[in-house]
């Protein structure tokens, strides 16, 4: 097999292993075993486990950003519906593992950001990009009259990202989507009520 193919296998299968077990609990041996490649393949493609971690964060974000484009940034849909669709899709994605795996960004934030400045910095950038997309959607909602004309879109976007990440962590702990449902209810019935 070509090196590119082994690299792709390591990234694809390694992301699954890290998402299931956590970054610290997933050894390089676990990752290459899941990928079905020799252990030396890992060091041939990644200078460190940290470098591998940064790449899987980017893969996970690329998938997440596709969802953001379909929902939050989709100008063909009413803005508040976009936000509802985004929260629902987020919940559905977490539900694929019975809420056991949680959000990879939240998991990395909790366990790896103290040990890797590069990972912490990348997570801050990712959360910033998500927050920008939420703010864009909220500004469209404000322009469409769906929310109060005085809504501070940037502030509420920050609240949205923080609260959804917290709800994701609680959903993981409880093995239940209830925290995400509560977040969604409070967001639309109280915070965004125009």
Residue range 119-132, pLDDT digits in tens? 999 999 999 999 99
**Burial profile 111-135: b = 16 or more Cβ within 10 angstroms, e = fewer:** ebbeebeebeebbeebbeebbbbbb
What's the pLDDT tens digit per position in 174-191?
999 999 999 999 999 999
The pLDDT assigned to 2 comes to: 45
Any residues with CB less than 8 A from the CB of 82 and at least 6 apart, and which? 71, 72, 73, 74, 137
Q: Tell me the C-alpha to C-alpha distance, in Å, between residue 5 and each of 46, 60, 148.
A: 14, 19, 51
The pLDDT assigned to 111 comes to: 86
What's the pLDDT tens digit per position in 66-82?
999 999 999 999 999 99
Task: Choose among 116, 122, 100: nearest CA to 169.
Answer: 100
Q: Is 112 within 8 Å of 53 (Cβ atoms)?
A: yes
Domains and CATH numbers, the chain: 1-46 (1.10.10.60), 54-191 (1.10.357.10)
What are the phi and psi torsion angles at 176 (to 5°)? -150, 145
Q: Is 75 within 8 Å of 140 (Cβ atoms)?
A: yes
More confident residue, 1 or 57: 57
């Amino acid at each position: 097999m070509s090196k590119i193919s082994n690299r792709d296998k390591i990234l694809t299968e390694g992301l699954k292993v890290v998402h299931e077990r956590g970054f610290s609990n997933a050894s390089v041996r676990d990752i290459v075993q899941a990928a079905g490649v020799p252990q030396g393949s890992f060091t041939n493609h990644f200078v460190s486990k940290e470098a591998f971690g940064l790449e899987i964060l980017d893969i996970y974000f690329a998938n997440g950003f596709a969802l953001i484009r379909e929902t939050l940034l989709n100008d063909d849909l009413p803005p508040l519906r976009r936000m509802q669709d985004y929260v629902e899709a987020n919940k559905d994605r977490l539900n694929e593992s019975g809420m056991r795996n949680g959000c990879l960004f939240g998991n990395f934030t909790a366990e790896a950001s103290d040990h890797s400045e590069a990972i912490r910095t990348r997570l801050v950038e990712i959360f910033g990009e998500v927050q920008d997309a939420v703010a864009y959607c909220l500004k469209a909602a404000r322009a469409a009259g769906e929310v109060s004309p005085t809504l501070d879109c940037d502030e509420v976007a920050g609240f949205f990202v923080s609260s959804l990440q917290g709800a994701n962590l609680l959903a993981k702990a409880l093995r239940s989507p209830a925290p995400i449902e509560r977040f969604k209810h409070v967001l639309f019935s109280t915070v965004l009520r125009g």
